[in-house]
Structure 1
Amino acid sequence: MTHTNAPAGLPLIDVSALVAQSQERAAVAAQIGQACRQHGFFYVTEHGVSPALIERLRSLSERFFALPEETKMRWRMALGGRAWRGYFPLGGELTSGRPDWKQGLYLGTELPADHPLVLAKTPVHGPNLFPDLPELAGFKETILEYMAAVTQLGHRLMEGIALSLDLPADYFAARYTADPLILFRIFNYPSQAVPEGLDVAWGVGEHTDYGLLTILYQDDVGGLTVHTPQGWVTAPPVPGSFVCNIGDMLDRMTGGLYKSTPHRVTRNSSGRERFSFPLFFDPNFAARVQRIEGLAGAPDRDDSAERWDQANVHAFNGRYGDYLLAKVSKVFPQLRDEVL
């Protein structure tokens, strides 16, 4: 077990003891707790996700995004309906009202059309739109295998976060994540100029994530930057690692002890395509988010004046799904009516 710093100064944590659920996991949990208090961001290594699986996903994703635009639009999000799945083109996603310079594929837990949550028309639940061309053979299976592996890592990391708060290891699983809401994105940031007249400043504009924990694999191009107490720092790729950050709901649950950290992605000018794979490990859609009782050192205050969006996450009281929908309706306003 090691704990060093990545080039950005963000912690680099060996989580093998958490993955193995061994006795040494308490020491790893303490490192994660320190990272959550100081930065809200940390890298994890020795995480147990197969490098060959990651490379297969990257290679197939590269093939998908190289397809002609009209071909990719056969799986556009408008066809995903309330499941909120599918492809969106360059500039098709907004952050803080401005288009991001990326294209992507939205995915999530695969549910059949006759699943009770789908029959109930529960937003962001349903079948995925998997591109199914001969040149993409195995893409669906690779995506599902990757999501399962990283979701399993998410369960182990949340056990570490629970232990770091002096809570039982199953605290979050018992209340929020026995059946987590898993949303997964495959993003491509092309290295090309923005067309004249398009109001684009970033690959992804400044934001915080909505839920509990984001587990991101980024390729070797880089571009992620994080707003730490010391200012904006780059979070460069570290081979074999995932970058993790906590979201608004963990901020809410801990009364601000663990803060969701703003981050953004610079426009890609490397001359190469950039790929990133964020998986969002979040509370169940119907789970009612509440503050952790008796948490030592939690400030529990309105910090909206300091936040990038002036929002008070500590005022939220309700289902996680309600918080999520209020956010995603601003990301794709043209699809808002599909989920609300």
Structure 2
Amino acid sequence: MSAYPLPIIDLRELDDPSTRENFYQKLRFTAREIGFFYLIGHDVSSEQRENLLATTKRFFSLPITEKSKIDMSHSKHFRGYTGSTQENTRNQPDYREQIDIGEELPALSLTEQDPIWFNLQGPNQWPDALPELREQALAWQSAMRATAIKLIKAFLVALELPENSFDPIIADPAQHLLKLIHYPARENSFNGEQGVGAHKDAGILTLLWQDNIGGLQVETDSGWVDVAPLENAFVVNIGEVFELATNGYLRANVHQVVRKQNSVSRYSIAYFITPSVFANEVPLLPLPAYLAKQALGPDSDPLNPLFTNLGKNAIKGRLRSHLSVTRQFYPEEYEQIIKNSNIL
């Protein structure tokens, strides 16, 4: 197991009274020092994963005319297909195509006085050519959400806090994002190395399944480290909401995906659990004094500064990343981004 660069956390240890305390200690250390780990011992079957992966591959092999029928530019809720180079990270294009799928909910009936981030709730777009995708994707979201909430509560207990401390933030109606991702093969040196650029995740937790091709890298104090795929494991990382809520005790680490020359296609399934659209400010959790002394404060990306308002922070990332949607549905915010490279 030493061949793998990240700690390995076994979720089964949480359910065993004889190993539970050791689990909490490992989780707290890993989250504090690294912010990334492999998760094994979960309840998601390889059959469920392989079925969703096969359908994902069939979608990305469709003609562009079919994929474009659910193009994200049709959705003010930022749902649907995004072609390669159509999403930006740190204002540079990402060489990947993807489908963004949120909780399947009706759009809220809004007035001009309602906050813009209420638009993050709404229906998904589904491809007519692959009707099985809807059932598979929503089942995956449900399984991932249960695992993510279990981990969130475990983090809180590990920090000697009530396990319900985040309940208002993760309350129903559920807010989460599933990304089905294809990184096309990089056949020469002329198309981009950036699969997805260096960034922190904006939500609470991310659970990522990656295939065996590689390309994910995590930034450490010693530089970039390749995160080798581990069979049947998710790669879990902490998002900025958890970093802010613990005043930097929990670490949201910078990561990227690199497309190496002469590589083959890479596929991944990324799940992000995010705050309710009705939540307000990021709560500052009252850590025990000895842990609070170790909190260094959140390390905000100067190219992507944070807001403490949960909704504003969530919508900001979507507006900056998907300019075709922003230009069409949010013209005032689009002008801000063009002028300032950010939302003010």
TM-score w.r.t. the length of structure 1 is 0.87
SS in 2 for 1:203: strand
Q: Distance in 1 between matches of 2:201 and 2:235?
A: 13
Judge conservation of contact 2:215–2:260 (CA < 8 Å) in 1: yes
Which residue of 48, 51, 54 corresponds with 1:59? 54
Partner residue, 1:128: 124
- CA contact under 8 A between 2:245 and 2:284: conserved in structure 1? yes
Match of 1:221 among 194, 213, 217: 213
Q: Name which of 11, 21, 25 aligns with 2:20.
A: 25
Match of 1:317 among 304, 308, 315: 308
| Aligned partner of residue 265 in structure 1, secondary structure | strand
Q: Which residue of 1 aligns with 2:251?
A: 259
One-letter code of the match for 2:119?
P
Q: Kindly report the root-mean-square deviation, in angstroms, between the aligned alpha carbons of the 2 structures.
A: 2.5
Q: Does 1:68 align with 2:63?
A: yes
Q: CA deviation at 1:270?
A: 5.6
| Aligned match for 2:242, one of 233, 250, 272 | 250
The 1:53–1:221 alpha-carbon spacing in structure 2 relative to 1, beyond 3 Å, is same
Query: Out of 320, 324, 336, which is 1:334 matched to?
Result: 324
- Structure 1: any 5+ residue segments left out of the alignment? none
Aligned counterpart, 2:136: 142
**Distance (whole Å) between structure 1 residues aligned to residue 185 and residue 195 of structure 2:** 10
Whole-Å separation in 2 of the counterparts to 1:6 and 1:276: 24
Query: Which shifted more, 21-30 or 33-42?
Result: 21-30
Q: Secondary structure of the residue that 1:177 maps to in structure 2?
A: coil
Q: How does 1:296-307 map to 2 (within 5 A)?
A: 296=289, 297-298=291-292
Identity level (%): 30
- Return the letter of the residue paired with 2:153: E
Question: Residues of 2 paired with 1:129 and 1:277: CA distance?
Answer: 17
Q: Deviations over 1:272-316 (max 9, x none)?
A: 321111111122122121211244333555665xx5536664xx3
Alignment-mate amino acid for residue 292 of structure 1: L
Letter of the aligned partner of 1:9 in structure 2?
P
Look up the match of 1:283. 275
Name the CA distance, whole Å, in 2 between partners of 1:88 and 1:310: 23
Q: Which residue of 1 aligns with 2:338?
A: none
* Match of residue 79 from structure 1: 74
Q: Does 1:178 align with 2:174?
A: no
SS at match of 1:162: helix
8 A Cα contact 2:160 2:287, kept in partner: no
AA matched with 1:170: N
Aligned-partner SS, 1:289: coil
Amino acid aligned to 2:213: V
Distance 1:59 1:309 in 2: 39
Aligned to 2:222: 230
Please state if 1:204 is matched with 2:196.
Answer: yes
The reply on whether 1:158 has 2:152 as its aligned counterpart is: yes
Rounded Cα–Cα distance in structure 2 between residues aligned with 1:154 and 1:285:
18
TM superposition shift of 1:260: 0.7
